[in-house]
Amino acid sequence: MFKGAHEARAFATRIRHLPERASGVDVVVCPPFVSLQATLQGLGEGGLVRVYAQSVHWELDGAFTGEVSAPMLLELGVKGAIVGHSERRQLFGETDETVRRRAEAALEAGLAVIACVGETDAERERGETEAVLARQVAAVPRHERLVIAYEPVWAIGTGRTATPEMAQDAHAFVKSLHAAPVLYGGSVKPENARVLLGQPDVDGALVGGASLDPVSFEAICLAGAEAAAA
CATH of the domain at 194: 3.20.20.70
Taking only the tens place, the pLDDT of each residue in 23-35 is 999 999 999 999 9
CA 79 to chain centre: 13
pLDDT at 80: 98
Query: Which residue among the candidates 94, 104, 119, 151 is catalytic per the annotation?
Result: 151
In a domain, 111, yes or no: yes
> How many domains does the structure of the chain reveal?
1
Identify each DSSP E strand in the chain by its residue range: 28-29, 50-53, 80-83, 112-117, 146-150, 182-184, 204-205
Does the pLDDT at position 161 exceed 80? no
What range defines the domain where residue 201 resides?
A: 61-229
In a domain, 45, yes or no: no
Backbone angles phi and psi of 159, in degrees to 5: 85, -15
Burial class (CB in 10 A: 0-12, 13-18, 19+), 186: buried
pLDDT at 154: 85
Active site residue 87: no
Does the pLDDT at position 143 exceed 80? yes
In a domain, 68, yes or no: yes
pLDDT at 16: 97
In a domain, 19, yes or no: no
In a domain, 98, yes or no: yes
Active site residue 151: yes
pLDDT at 156: 75
Neighbours of 5 (CB within 10 A): 17
d(CA 65, CA 149): 27
pLDDT at 188: 94
In a domain, 118, yes or no: yes
Does the pLDDT at position 19 exceed 90? yes
d(CA 96, CA 106): 15
d(CA 37, CA 9): 9
Mean pLDDT of 205-217: 97
